[in-house]
Amino acid sequence: MTPPSLLPSIVCRRQPADALAQNVTGFFILAGLTNVPFVYNVQTIRDGRTYCTRIVNVTQAEGEGICFTCTCSFKTAEDSPLDAQERIDLWDTYDVVLKGTNPEDWEEAPGMDVPWYITLLYLPSPSLR
The closest alpha carbon to 7, from 65, 50, 68, belongs to 68
Beta bridge partners of 70: 26, 56
pLDDT band per the 50, 70, 90 thresholds, residue 61: confident
Mean pLDDT value of segment 91-114: 73
Rounded Cα gap, residues 129 and 122, in angstroms: 10
Rounded Cα gap, residues 43 and 35, in angstroms: 26
Amino acid at 113: D
Domains, the chain: 4-76 (3.10.129.10), 90-124 (no CATH)
Task: Give the CA distances from residue 123 to residues 8, 77, 82, 126, in Å, rounded to whole numbers and listed in that order.
Answer: 18, 30, 38, 7
Rounded Cα gap, residues 14 and 17, in angstroms: 9
DSSP class of residue 61 equals T
- Largest Cα–Cα distance in the chain? 60
The closest alpha carbon to 118, from 106, 129, 102, 107, belongs to 129
Residue 105 has pLDDT above 80, yes or no: no
pLDDT of 32-60, one tens digit each? 888 888 888 999 999 888 888 999 999 99
SS3 state of residue 50: coil
Mean pLDDT value of segment 112-128: 58
